[in-house]
């Protein structure tokens, strides 16, 4: 006899029910349509758990397929490749690939052939088929631009290609020999980066070097420009704040390149037209509009965009101009290639590899769900990954000192709290009564609350009570100076920095200062002074100095106010935490409790998740819309 454990049976039964994609009462069900298919879709995992499944022999057939069942044939047709394929059910039954792709949707593991037969596809096969479907058009053709990422997908699939396809494969498998003398000053990961860039350039593709801040993206780009200098002049577009930095890097690592910059009174159009091999034409983003005709009037052997997130909005005149330029090799440098939404990625790729992601409408149709759907995120990552290289400091700079990040919470005084709540309620009323321009009202209200957190006097000049954030900032700075630390202080608000300067002046502390209103000469003087003299403080506006600076003399970073995008803050912090830093770095973020600042910091994880989802394979993120922003105003 058999002694039954009824309690255990109930637990097992409940466990089984929990795994089924249906929630119906009872123990027997009659399912049809989508419900039936969803149940069948869950069965393979149950089989793996040794759960026996009985099928009525006259009612259904369940067939399992893995990658080995898939085979492809590829042939060249003008400027595309025709892809035909089949799935082998057994020795006698073969299915056309079109039939499967027509029914398959991301995340689906079952395909119903007829009323009697369903196919259960392995996870790997579903992944390959879904990615393949994303790269093919309705006629099962693949653009030659997509042929390169397609080769990575086909590495584990039985594939027969014509001579054109085989020649292309053989060509792509060939690396590029980099002159050893050019690689000598580089670290190993930088040598890998140069080889990767040179290989893509050789095969006619653009690239995005998305290394973490401080890993030497400029240096790697310069080595590739040296390798390509004989092919013609190069165009390098940079933020105004890093023009001097590029000139210094060229003089140090690529002295044979002649940098062409534009001084007042020069005939810029003539200089561009006459640019020759070995010359690097260096312009800042702000100059592009005035040079549009001249830049479009010639061909460039290489085009480099530094801080390429500057073209994240494809609708701007700046981005449209850069899309139109004629260049053989296009390189985007950005530690933050995507900051807020997938449209930024489309803009970036429209520059480096035009046509790869299709039109913006096509891109949205194919990948618009990637923000919320891991399957669609995987598809997009498969297409772009051959052209993006990203290394993180913690992985390649093992000798880099630690970076400690601290969120320093600040309690508002009673008077500040009363003013904050009154202002918040007023903003909420304004937003609720606004129609048509809701986003503008929400952002305006949030900015007002953020400024109030920084200092009530920023929105109420006659404020005569305490200022909790500035009081706390001064206390932290005083402690840092007393202990021999040197501090970079960042804020988005220049007028907040002015208030802090007044307090610092009264204490007699020495400091350097930089904002967007400083001249190029004043900017460089402040940077050199901080580098060469024991000045304890450097006050910097986030927009003017958050990128392009090397300030490893500092070992402490203080963010006075949280910015929407954590990548911008991270870039600013890495002015100190980068190659050349020998001391541990501490990063403080001042955040007022129970205010919009706390909610902004909470959003940082979601912003980081979007970038991580594309660059490192993690994909949990949701979009930030008007309602999400409106929620920040609630108590």
Q: Residue 593's domain is classified under what CATH number?
A: 3.40.50.300
Tokens representing 263? 């001084």
- Which tokens go with 205? 């593709």
Q: 493 CB contacts (<8 Å, ≥6 apart)?
A: 451, 454, 458, 560, 561
What is the DSSP annotation of 283-312? EEGGGTGGGHHHHHTSEEEEEEEETGGGG-
- Closest listed residue to residue 319, CA positions, set 311, 331, 309: 311
Within this chain, do residues 145 and 82 fall inside the same structural domain, yes or no? yes
Same domain membership, residue 473 and residue 563: yes
SS3 305: strand
Q: How many Å apart are CA 294 and CA 363, to the nearest integer? A: 31
Last residue of a domain, one of 339, 365, 395: 395
Same domain, 192 and 132: no
What is the DSSP secondary structure assignment for residue 306, as one 8-state letter?
Answer: E
Closest C-alpha to 491, from 533, 549, 450, 441: 450
| Separation of alpha carbons 197 and 174, rounded Å | 13
Identify whether 514 is part of a domain: yes
Tell me how many degrees the CA angle 40-43-48 measures, rounded to the nearest 5. Answer: 160
Beta bridge mates, 541:
491
At residue 602, the pLDDT reads 80
The pLDDT value given to residue 614: 58
Closest CA to 583 of 395, 394, 400: 400
CA angle 347, 238, 566 (to 5 degrees): 65
**Per-residue buried b or exposed e for 46-78, using 16+ beta carbons within 10 Å of the residue's own CB:** eeeeeeeeeeeeeeeeeeebebebbbbbbebee
- Domain encompassing residue 479: 399-631
Q: How far apart are CA 482 and CA 469, in angstroms?
A: 20
Residues 376 and 459 in one domain: no
Under DSSP, the state recorded for 325 is -
List phi, psi (to 5°) of 55. -115, 140
Same domain for 482 and 369: no
Which of 377, 395, 413 corresponds to the end of one domain?
395
* 60, 150 contact by CB (below 8 A): no
Considering the domain architecture, whether residues 355 and 260 belong to the same structural domain is answered as yes
Looking at the structure, tell me whether residues 51 and 80 fall in a common domain.
Answer: no
Domain of 366, CATH number, reads 3.40.50.10810
d(CA 289, CA 136): 37
Q: Are strands 511-514 and 537-541 parallel, antiparallel or unpaired?
A: parallel
The 3-state DSSP composition of the chain as helix, strand, coil percent (nearest 5) reads 50, 15, 35
Look up residue 582 and give its two tokens.
């020998």
Residue at 1 is within a domain: no
CA distance linking residue 526 with residue 531, whole number of Å: 9
Within 8 A by CB and 6+ apart from 580, the residues are: 550, 552
Structure tokens at 579: 């190659």
Same domain, 46 and 111: no
Look up residue 178 and give its DSSP letter.
Answer: P
User: Do the domain assignments include residue 566?
Assistant: yes
Helix 188-202 and helix 217-227: axis angle, to 10°?
Answer: 50
| Residue 483, in any domain of the structure | yes
Phi and psi, residue 117, nearest 5° = -130, 130
Please indicate, yes or no, whether residues 72 and 22 belong to a single structural domain of this protein. no
Mean pLDDT of successive 10-residue stretches along the chain, which has 635 residues: 79 76 71 65 67 63 73 81 82 79 72 74 78 77 74 69 78 79 89 93 92 89 96 94 87 94 86 95 93 94 95 92 96 85 89 87 77 72 87 83 89 93 88 66 85 93 90 94 94 95 95 91 92 96 82 95 85 88 92 90 70 53 53 67
Quote the CA–CA distance of 327 and 269 in Å, as a whole number.
Answer: 18
Together in a domain, 453 and 600: yes
State the total domains in the chain. 4
pLDDT score of 541: 93
The confidence score (pLDDT) of residue 446 equals 86
Co-location of 474 and 564 in the same domain: yes
Is 299:328 a contact under the CB 8 Å cutoff? yes
Residues 367 and 436 grouped into a single domain? no
Query: Residue 484 falls within a domain, yes or no?
Result: yes
Question: Which of 395, 424, 448 marks a domain boundary?
Answer: 395
pLDDT of residue 29: 73
How much is the pLDDT for 150?
Answer: 74
């Amino acid at each position: 006899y058999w002694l039954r454990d009824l309690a255990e049976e109930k637990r097992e039964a409940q466990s089984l029910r929990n795994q089924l994609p249906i929630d119906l009462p009872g123990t027997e069900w009659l399912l049809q349509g989508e419900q039936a298919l969803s149940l069948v879709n869950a069965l393979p995992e149950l089989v793996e758990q040794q759960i026996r499944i009985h099928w009525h022999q006259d009612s259904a057939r369940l067939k399992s397929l893995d990658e080995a069942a898939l085979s492809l044939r590829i042939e060249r047709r003008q400027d595309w490749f025709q892809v035909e394929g089949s799935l082998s059910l057994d020795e006698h039954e073969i299915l056309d690939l079109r039939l499967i792709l027509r029914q398959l949707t991301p995340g689906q593991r079952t395909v119903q052939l007829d009323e009697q037969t369903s196919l259960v596809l392995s996870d790997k096969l579903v992944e390959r088929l879904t990615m393949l479907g994303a790269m093919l058009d309705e006629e099962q053709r693949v653009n030659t631009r997509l042929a390169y990422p397609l080769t990575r997908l086909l590495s584990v699939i039985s594939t027969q290609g014509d001579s054109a396809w085989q020649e292309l494969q053989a060509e792509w498998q060939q690396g590029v020999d980099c002159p050893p003398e050019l690689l000598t000053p580089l670290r190993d990961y930088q040598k890998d980066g140069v080889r990767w860039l040179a290989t893509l350039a050789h095969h006619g593709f653009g690239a995005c070097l998305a290394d973490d801040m401080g890993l030497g993206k400029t240096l790697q780009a310069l080595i590739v420009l040296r390798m390509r200098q004989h092919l013609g002049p190069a165009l390098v577009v940079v933020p105004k704040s890093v023009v001097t930095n590029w000139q210094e890097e060229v003089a140090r690592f690529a002295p044979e390149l002649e940098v062409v910059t534009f001084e007042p009174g020069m005939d810029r159009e003539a200089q561009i037209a006459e640019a020759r091999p070995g010359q690097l034409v260096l312009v800042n983003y702000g100059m592009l509009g005035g040079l549009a005709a001249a830049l479009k009037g010639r061909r460039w052997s290489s085009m480099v965009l530094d801080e390429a997130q500057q073209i994240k909005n494809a609708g701007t005149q700046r981005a449209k101009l850069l899309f139109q330029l004629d260049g053989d090799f296009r390189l985007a440098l950005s530690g933050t290639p995507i900051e807020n939404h997938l449209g930024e990625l489309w803009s970036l790729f429209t520059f480096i590899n035009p046509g790869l992601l299709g039109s913006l409408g096509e891109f949205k149709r194919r990948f618009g769900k990637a923000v919320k759907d891991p399957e669609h995120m995987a598809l997009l990552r498969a297409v772009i990954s051959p052209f993006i290289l990203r290394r993180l400091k913690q992985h390649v700079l093992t000798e880099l000192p630690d970076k400690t990040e601290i969120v320093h919470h600040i309690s508002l005084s009673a008077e500040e709290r009363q003013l904050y709540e009154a202002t918040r309620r007023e903003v909420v009323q304004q937003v609720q009564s606004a129609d048509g321009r809701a986003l503008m009202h929400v952002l305006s209200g949030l900015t007002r609350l953020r400024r109030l957190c920084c200092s009530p006097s920023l929105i109420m000049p006659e404020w005569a009570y305490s200022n909790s954030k500035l009081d706390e900032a001064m206390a932290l700075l005083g402690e840092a100076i007393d202990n021999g630390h040197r501090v970079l202080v960042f804020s988005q608000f220049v007028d907040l920095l002015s208030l802090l300067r007044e307090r610092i002046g009264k204490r007699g502390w020495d400091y350097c200062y930089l904002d967007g209103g400083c001249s190029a000469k004043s900017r460089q003087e402040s940077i050199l002074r901080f580098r060469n003299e024991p000045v304890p403080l450097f006050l910097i506006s986030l927009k003017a100095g958050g990128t392009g600076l090397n300030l490893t003399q500092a070992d402490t970073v203080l963010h006075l106010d949280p910015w929407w995008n954590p990548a911008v803050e991270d870039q600013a912090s890495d002015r100190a935490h980068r190659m050349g830093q020998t001391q541990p770095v501490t990063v403080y973020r001042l955040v007022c409790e129970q205010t919009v600042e706390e909610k902004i910091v909470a959003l940082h994880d979601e912003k980081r998740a979007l970038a991580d989802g594309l660059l490192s394979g993690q994909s949990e993120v949701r979009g930030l819309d008007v309602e999400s922003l409106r929620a920040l105003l609630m108590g």
